[in-house]
Amino acid sequence: MHHAVTTVDTAPTSTLRAYVALTKPRIIELLLVTTVPAMFLAAGGVPPWQLVVWTLLGGTLAAGSANVFNSVLDADIDSEMRRTRRRPMALNRVPAAKAYVFGSVLGVLSALILGFGANWLSAALALAANAYYVFVYTMGLKRRTSQNIVWGGIAGCFPPLIGWTAVTGSVDWTPLVMFAIVFFWTPPHTWALAFRYREDYKQAHVPMLPVVMEPPAVAWRIVIYTVITVVVSLLLWPVAHTGWLYPAVALVSGLWLTVESIQLLRRARAGLTESALKPMRLFHLSNSYLAVVFLAAAVDPLVF
């Protein structure tokens, strides 16, 4: 067993960095990518900038809150994995009690900012996403099933709903389709990363799909989910009544992502070593894909 190393640094800037790191800022970028386009579609153009600011601030704090709780609850896993063992909780940089307080404060602030800055439906959705990520994914699914990310990923699908309801005050089919795009996109995106860090997950006893299944079987599932993602992305065209820009971008970028997933399957079936599988190509491309598709959704109402 690799045990967490106690390295307490009391310098204010170091402490501040540790608290910021608990919120996992890089993961929050996904939230911005999927929230704002939903607001543009809901507004049929440019939404009020103040509303965008309050919604993004509230959403960022909500996601940060969920990530803080996840950091505390997964400290033992993080300390076992090379990719995560420099995280604050794995190094005992922040006491667990203080981290829980920090996460709670962020959660309350996010609800108040969304409630007063947008509306209470958006605030309730953010709290629901937060609770789902902490209780269902982190505490329930992650350590118990290889389907952890399929159902646990639902928490990351909430931003389009929050963005849409911030503008309209109600849920509609358009944000539900955007929710579904992120839902089907999450497994292939995460499994590609899990291919790269398979040994890490195996050592930490986290049953990610590449840990419990052979590479060709995982790659085949990645292809299936990728194709479904592309099909669902095209549903936004008739449902949101977009112009031609969105479906053109969604189709071209979707075909690109599908080809890359098929190439990963071919490499897996050829029995290549894990390093030769090059799963991170698909991982990085999937990030770009989601950004491009949602950006097209945001720009479309400005053009047509």
**Looking at domain 172-304, which of 1.20.1460, 3.40.50, 1.20.120, 3.30.70 is its CATH number?**
1.20.120
pLDDT tens digits for 271-286?
888 778 999 999 999 9
CA distance 154 to 158: 7
Q: Please, what CATH class does the domain formed by 11-169 belong to?
A: mainly alpha
The answer to pTM > 0.75 is yes
User: What pLDDT sits at residue 11?
Assistant: 62
Q: What is the band of 4 on the pLDDT scale with cuts at 50, 70, 90?
A: very low
- Look at 104 and 274; give whichever has higher pLDDT: 104
DSSP, residue by residue, 228-265: HHHHHHHHHHHHHT--SHHHHHHHHHHHHHHHHHHHHH
DSSP, residue by residue, 130-146: HHIIIIIIIIIITTT-T
- Residue ranges of the chain that CATH labels 1.10.357.140: 11-169
CB 115 within 8 A of CB 49: no
Examine the pLDDT at 9 and tell me if it is beyond 80: no
Examine the pLDDT at 161 and tell me if it is beyond 50: yes
pLDDT tens digits for 38-53?
999 999 999 999 999 9
CB 268 within 8 A of CB 218: yes
- Residue ranges of the chain that CATH labels 1.20.120: 172-304
